[in-house]
Structure 1
Amino acid sequence: MKGFGIYKSKKYLQRVLISIMLSMVVVLMALAVANTYVLEDSVRRNQEQSNLKVLSQIQYNLTYMNEIITHLSNYVNKDNQLATLLFDMKLPKMDFIRGYQRMSSIMESASFLHSIAIYNHTQNEIYGTTSAFLLDGGKTKSSIRDWLFNPSKPHPTSRLIPVSLEKADGGIDAFAFLVTNSLKPFSRAESAIILYIKSDWVFESLKRMDAVSNDKEGNEIYIADQDGHLFSSDDAVTDQDKAKRDQIKQLVQRDKAMNQQQSGFVVGKIDGSKQLVSYMDDGVRNWTIIYVQSYDLMMKDVRSTRTKSFAITGIFLVLSIGLSIWLSYKLYTPIERMLRRIRLQAPRGGSNATPFDGDELHLMSDNYMQLSHKLQEISSEQIVSKYYLRKLLTDSSLFTHHDMLEVIEKHGLGISVKDELLVCVLRIDEFQAFDRNTTGAAKKLYSFAIVNIAHEIMAKQHLCEVVEVRGDHVVLIVSNQSAGAGEGDHADRASEPAATLAEQVVPIIKDIQQTILHFYGISLSCGVSDSIPQFPYISSAYNQALQVCNYKIIYGHMAVITPDQIKENLFNKQSAIPDVIERKLSEALKKGQMSEAGSELEKAFTMLATFGYDDMLRAVSNLAWVVKNTAAEIANNRVIKFDVDLEYATLITQEKETLEEMYIALLSLCARICEGQRPATMERNDMILETIKELVEQKYADINLSQQSIAATVKLSSAYIGKMFKDSTSMSITEYMNEVRLKHAQQLLETDDYTVIEIMEKCGYSNPSYFFRLFKGKFGSTPKEYRMKKSIS
């Protein structure tokens, strides 16, 4: 509950958290919905394409079935035994019997035939094969006659026509196929053979096609004739089925009228459930093939995927909420730090505390406005008071007792004229870097903060004044009078044993240093003066505090230094490092002995720590010059360049503020000097080797060039330079000379038209056979062969 209360009090954090959380929730939910919508649309489109293929295959199957029946009808129409039934005016009994037998044999040969009927227009008689046709007293014959001779609806020939032979509910049990000698619609003036095809044969074929193409149950296939009547394989057609078929017909007709296409897809409510209806026109038979599927069944996997998607989205929502909380607190951290700083300075409790109803930004804004108003309230009187304080620090003897009382009373200065006083100087460490890296506005802000924090912390226990001087330090004038104590309390406090004023002030100064370092990252060192009896000695105390503060060169940054700590330094008469230390340091550097150089440097700085401040700087500068001059002397006596920045030595006292930093800088410089040196013998040998190689490169064309002539040139013995060259390069001087000469001979052969003899002479050879032998040993061919190969290539 406590954590919830803290969260509840942070209104801006609530806004950040809710904004991030809602953004993540909206994005994740939108993504989940969009994914399911795209998935459903993709599944529907794939199913539509699959249905289109199924309908196309059904259309092809119907066409193929129509061709089978057409072939059978042509065969039947040309049968001689059936011709008597078709055309004879008087039919002998035996011909009648043979015709019926022939129709029976045809029925047995074609399993898809329901029955056969023959119309003889000369007799106006119909003959049929079914038992009902023969035994029902002429009802079937009458039904066939009524259908066949319907004047309002002429029947096309060689086409499957859905008919109802035995059903009275409108359901079809066969397809009629009229066969005549003409292709015109049937008329009573011509004979015809009527082949009745089983409806199951047509619809079962379509169902098998559907079963192969689709594994979903509950799919239905309908055939709509040109009048819009729907037919299926169902034997019984109830009123509910009729209503369902009417809904399917309306959906298809509406979509056809809207899109004007021969095939299409429509989704709608049929018999209370959502269905996908696919249709395709069969132009040959004027039929429309309709394929009805349950939309919910088709989308079963999509719904399952949607459920999983929302479950995964829910998991990610929980994770996003956790991430939102973490991210919100991460973004809120700078604001919370600022609030801590504001609350540190804000009044705690009391009647003056005002309730706050806004969020954190409003709180900071109000705090900023209060601070701005507070800054604006600094009047000319306050500016003048700062002027008098600075004047008091520079020359306090100008103020008489009466003048001082008047200034204190008029400007409200926190300085006691009766109690002892103390002056503290707070100086910014590494001020050059601070001044270089901080803008002017930021400097003013930091100065204002240091002055106010120092005054607030010190004023809790002592009457004091704080003023900024020259930008790099702040001065505190502390009175040995408790904050809020009146003049009447002085005698009572003086009679009580207590710590000295300096002992009371030092812990408070350390508290000021830590507070400023914590909030602003600024390190301050402090110099504390001796206690003075009255205000006329403030200038002297200020100068003393400045001098004492300089001794942070010994005690380091963040030090609080009192005069007692530097008494030995002030009374030390020694002002220079003994010459023997400087001499040993120089000798160690020349010899490259880093351990000895470091030891001498450590002795010097141990001694330096007891000097006065000015003597310290002078002695460190002298040490730096000793190191620089030694390095310069080493560099002058070396052949190889000495890569050390010697000017850096003279800048150490300017860039470093403490003896420790100066010691490390000089020690590092000495290490680089020692590491940069190499043995003198190695330098001499390198110089001789480079000289020999340079002589060979310059005089390779001289026939008289030899190891002896080179030794005479460098003023050394032939044996010495020969051994030194062999040890260093793994080849003799003569071998090196031949390498250089042959290299130049190779270049001349490739680029110039000189003869081989001329090239030999230009490369310092006088004996052709010796030159040819050396060249072939180097390149594997004679000079002429080499030139020929290069010219060809």
Structure 2
Amino acid sequence: MRLLSAYRSRKYLQRILLSISLLITLTLSLTALTLYRYSEKTVRETQYDANMKVLSQVNSNIGLLGKMIDTQAFNLFVDHDIIAMLYGAPLDAFEQANKQYKLDKWVNSNTYIDSVILYNARIDGFYAGGNLDIQYETALTAQLRQYLSQPDRVSKAELVPMSLKTAANPEHNVFSYMLYESNTAYKPGSSALIVNVKPDWVFDNIRRLNDIGTEQAGKLLVIGKDGSAFGADLKPQELDPALSQTIGESRGKEEGKPGLFSLVLGGEKQLVTYMPTDMFRWTIVSLQPYDTLFGALARWKTTTLALTAGFFLASLVLSVLVSHRLYGPIRNLVGQIRVSGGVLGEDPSTPKDDLAILSETYNRMLEIKEAAADPKLAETDLRLIRNYNLRGLLADSGAVSRTELQEQIREHGLHLEPDSAMMVAILSIDHYRQFDQTASKAEKRLYAFAVMNIAEEVISRHYRCESVDLRSGHFVMIISGFEPEGFGEKIGEAMREIIGIVEAYYRLSLSVALGPVFTGHEDMSKSYELAQQVLEYRVVYGPRSIIAYEMVKARLDNRDFNLPQELEKRLAEAIKSGNAAAFSETAQKLFQFMGRLHPDNIYHAVLLVLAAVKQAVGEMNTNKLRPLSVDWNQLQKQLLEKETLDAMAEELAALFRELQKQQEDGDAGKNRILFDTIKEYIEDRYEDPNLSLQGIASMLKMSSAHVGKLFKQSEGLSVAEYITEIRLAHTVRLLETTDRSVSDVMERVGFINRSNFYKLFKNKFGVTPNEYRLKKVIY
């Protein structure tokens, strides 16, 4: 109860403690939450990138296999010998042996082909190449007849998983690729060519990739266009309805692009990555247990929460200690007021808190001041004379004799010992430009009075000292009466105490420059001049620094101001190449070099760096269509207004980032002009059958690979695919608005291969050109 009562009367302590505690709590909580969210996002993106590499490899294999099968199957379908086996009368033994040999040879020459089955509807019989067991397997031929009797199951020019079980091989799973004469759906009783493809060429990659990723315990599935799923062994897989629905919805929103989402399947959360293939309208799906992937992150989260809680408890203890430390001066002041009798007129039966005591004491002092009718003009005059004499000593100490100095000390009470070791120290307000703009004249006088009083009180505990306000935030301390040995460390501690007190009470930041120790008052002006030069190194050490003459003595003797040519050259090269790391490293070395110069040459060196940057940008602009724009006058002004070399370096880094942004925007504009030119060229020449990426790149005098890569990255489809899209769009227009034949329309829009034209049209619109025209006429 006594503890609570003590805290209740100390409102200022309560506010300090509450502010620090809330700040610590908020900072720790936000930091932990931000780190966890960022880590989760990073892990998810990294896993997505890894999965996309796997799925892209599988997609590439499927696409390559599909193109090879398309070509090989079509060539086989139009072969005269195969046509005889598909549509002709029964073959005699010799003729069948020759054609069978040719068929077997074709199968054996393609390593990815398992077998070929020819169904001759005329004789209702089968021929098989590459695997004779298929031809004479009664159960298998019955299975094929049943399959062909169901036209809704038969897909033309697509890979379909199929099991060809024979006595010799009961686990014979293949992809079947079927071709038949009709451009529409398969009609039962029609001849058909069935090319059976070994699945190993594609799915061995899936198996290997699954083996590589065993740490993630994931698996890959393939979903066909009809929604059925199968794995690497071609066996049907039961597909969760929620997974199928989510993939369908995601694909609809993303317009056929890959995607990533999480879903609970079978009571376990899974990370699902999917990619639509370029061939056969399949979708490759990767399933990985979410807890396995993010297990380490979950453990990290638990550890972070535990550490955060520990840090929070430790911070609370520390905040109590710091709060009491900061409250110390207020506690002492309130204690002195109470010891001296408290506030006049205070009711002892009604205890007041600390803020109320201070407020009433301050008001009482104002009342006493206003009641004082006779100001002490003599004391003010004395202070002016003391300041005049001290300024004269600092300006030209050699003009003041020892006798004159002793007389000034005796008449004006100067706290100086001219026969001892002496030092001149300068206390300077940091960020004075901002301070000068925000503080009123009354506040500036108050702060100057406070700084000098605090400095005199701290230093006079051990030494004799005088202070003088030289305006513009500079306060000079003349210290005497000390032994040089060990003095540097002691005066450094005193200055740190002064800086801490002023910052705690007045929120002012001070820097200190300590001049060299001297023994004769005649050297005071020189010591003051050197202290001013020492203070200039605040640009190197930053605010709240204590800079002694011994720390920078060697630099004051360095009169070099030319920058190292090698560093200037590397800075220009980094700007031209856009190498951020090289620019940052070189700029850092340049500013480190500047920090070793004489203070008179530091800003000159900064301007030399700016000139080197300006020259590099100018050389870049001579070859650019859109020159980089920089307001150099404004930049120079901003650079010289910075108070530290680190701030100047950051200003140059901001300039570098702006230059990079302008270059990226310029490159994007040039690429957009390039893409618009390509599109316009295609629109004007789509009727040319020889229109191709190579021709367009030759016209632009650019590499076809480079043009194709840029176009694909920007538009999402290759130049060849874009040409096909334009031609198909004009095909539809001619079918709808003219009565030209399909062959004439095909040739007018630039297609030369009828089979390829029909395939592309059907893939795009789902029907043949004739069906499309008929549907438009009817409806």
**TM-score bracket for this pair, using the shorter chain length:** 0.3 to 0.5
Q: Which has the larger radius of gyration?
A: 1
TM-score when scaled to structure 2?
0.45
